[in-house]
Amino acid sequence: MNVLLDNIDLYARGFLGTIELFVVSAIGSLILGALLAAMRVSPVPILRAFGTVYVNILRNTPLTLVIFFFAFAYPRLEIADLSYFTRACIGLILYTAAFVCEVIRSGVNTVPVGQAEASRALGFTFTQTLSQVVLPQAVRNVVPPLANIQIALLKNTTIAAGFSVTEAGGIYQALSERGANVFVGLLWVAVGFLILVVPLTLLQRNLDRRWSTAR
Amino acid sequence: MTDTPMIRMAAVDKHFGELHVLKDINLEVERGQVVVVLGPSGSGKSTLCRTINRLEPVDSGTIEVDGRALPAEGKALAGLRADVGMVFQSFNLFAHKTVVENVMLAPLKVRRQDKAAAEKNAVRLLERVGIANQKDKYPAQLSGGQQQRVAIARALAMDPKVMLFDEPTSALDPEMVQEVLDVMTGLAKDGMTMLVVTHEMGFARRAAHRVVFMADGEIVEDSTPDDFFTNPSSDRAKDFLGKILTH
């Protein structure tokens, strides 16, 4: 307990960083993933091809490599000067969106064809059919796997520590510099993550229950 | 202007792979006319209905709605579909929206009506089909007959020029068929142009101006209900009527 209380500032700053990284990346990956899924089911061949290539590259690349790219290779491209935090978010979003895309796409396949037919018959364009009718139902059908991906994202944020972003994965380093017991310190980090996952699990359960009445 | 038929199909052909499902279809539906399409299953009557708003594209031939040829897939086609109401065998209500939201969605998103006006109109239409007291339920909480009446209200909310019915009562339990037919009969009395694919002979007798009989992808007979039911000219129609009217 002493390790936690003596270094509460470290833990607070670390987990605050984790939460910030997570919230930005979670929202970003859900939006980008939905867009990619829309591309993969669209009738436009170029968009479909782009979506397929994107997913296959990002899903098959180790996250560490993606993050390292943005940490060390990206600055050499001299495109725009971005903070470490922003670059960490971009890496996490690009990587996670590939998984979100595939889950949403599998959800699209669960929506009966008649739903899209009815909306086309009412005069909806392809984009409206997708955004108003198909995607909302697709997402409702894949809440549990989407929650899995977001929990994995929460834990993946620790990779950003190798990136000089202050977050919970970097706490042990500061602890050992202060000469505190690193073993106990790490246990508290684990407890912190367990606590962070609880609201996600509750959210998943809540959404599942609310949306099941619609069917 | 008023002389152009609401629906005109000329020399329409369509194949599903090897199957020649529509053979040289020529059909005109006048304004305010109620046309019932009858025929054994597999005769192509559903496909015919679905080609009119291009849910099924055709191989060749012309289809015009209100004097305008069907455009290719895109904004123009969406605009035309907005004017053509369609009711499906399997209802196809939006499962994630309440009843009133189902009726309001297209007026809001396609017609860009404001929310208050769309809701007022939706409630009026739900009253018309006798289901306003269920407006905040989800489709899955309603019976089949209720769902189909909501689907009719949803199509009417777009103020369509013509209504297509693709076997609207075939998926219903027998005791629910009548409530849907009553709504359709009311529509026909109000002068709506309707093309109805159905097996309901009673409705055809009562509400139709014309009966079109299809078999094997062809229009075999096109006559008044009286003529068709009492004095069919083709053997196919006699055979069909013999099978359904004797039981």
Alpha-carbon distance of A94 to A82, in angstroms, equals 16
Q: What is the per-residue pLDDT for B51?
A: 96
The CA distance from B244 to the nearest CA of chain A, in Å, is 29
Alpha-carbon distance of B191 to B180, in angstroms, equals 17
Backbone φ, ψ for residue B147 (5° rounding): -60, -40
Alpha-carbon distance of B87 to B158, in angstroms, equals 13
Q: What is the per-residue pLDDT for B87?
A: 97
> How confident is the prediction for chain B on average, in pLDDT?
93
Mean pLDDT across A9-25 = 90
pLDDT category of residue B246 using cuts at 50, 70 and 90: low
Alpha-carbon distance of B247 to B232, in angstroms, equals 19
Task: Indicate whether B189 pLDDT > 70.
Answer: yes
pLDDT single digits (tens) B40-90: 988 999 999 999 999 999 999 999 999 999 998 889 999 999 999 999 999
Residues of B with CB under 8 A from a CB of A: 53, 55, 73, 75, 78-86, 88, 90-96, 105-106, 109-110, 138, 140, 151, 154-155, 158
Tell me which chain B residue has its CA closest to the CA of residue A121: B81
Where is A106: in which H helix or E strand? helix A84-108
Task: Indicate whether B1 pLDDT > 60.
Answer: no
pLDDT category of residue B124 using cuts at 50, 70 and 90: very high
8 Å CB contact of B86 and A133: no
Neighbouring CB atoms inside 10 A of A109's CB total 9
Tell me which chain B residue has its CA closest to the CA of residue A113: B92
pLDDT single digits (tens) A27-64: 999 999 999 999 999 989 999 999 999 999 999 999 99
CB B77, CB B54: distance < 8 Å: yes
The HSE-up count of residue A136 (CA atoms within 13 Å, CB side) is 15
8 Å CB contact of A121 and B83: no
CA dist list (Å): B116 to A177, B99, B101: 64, 16, 12
The CA distance from B97 to the nearest CA of chain A, in Å, is 8
Q: What is the per-residue pLDDT for B48?
A: 95
8 Å CB contact of B93 and A118: yes
Task: Indicate whether B245 pLDDT > 80.
Answer: no
Could you tell me which residues are beta bridge partners of residue B60? B13
For chain A, the structural domain boundaries read 12-167
Task: Indicate whether A72 pLDDT > 90.
Answer: no
| Percentage of chain B lying above the pLDDT 70 cut | 98
pLDDT single digits (tens) B36-45: 999 998 899 9
* Residue from B89, B96, B103 whose CB has the most chain A CBs within 10 Å, to mutate: B96
Tokens of B91: 């209802």
pLDDT category of residue B242 using cuts at 50, 70 and 90: confident
CA-derived radius of gyration, chain A: 20
Supply the pTM of this predicted model: 0.86
Alpha-carbon distance of B115 to B105, in angstroms, equals 10
Mean pLDDT across A165-191 = 82
pLDDT single digits (tens) B6-51: 999 999 999 999 999 999 999 999 999 999 999 998 899 999 999 9
| Percentage of chain A lying above the pLDDT 90 cut | 58
Mean pLDDT across B109-127 = 95
> How confident is the prediction for chain A on average, in pLDDT?
89
Mean pLDDT across A112-123 = 96
- Can you identify the CATH homologous superfamily of domain A12-167? MetI-like (1.10.3720.10)
Across the beta sheet with B19-29, the strand order is B19-29, B7-16, B60-65, B68-69
Q: What is the per-residue pLDDT for A173?
A: 79
Mean pLDDT across A163-188 = 80
Task: Indicate whether A214 pLDDT > 60.
Answer: no
Task: Indicate whether A162 pLDDT > 80.
Answer: no
Closest to B77 measured CA to CA, from A44, A129, A121, A117:
A121
Q: What is the per-residue pLDDT for B37?
A: 96
Alpha-carbon dihedral B60, B65, B67, B73, rounded to 10 degrees:
-60
Neighbouring CB atoms inside 10 A of B181's CB total 21
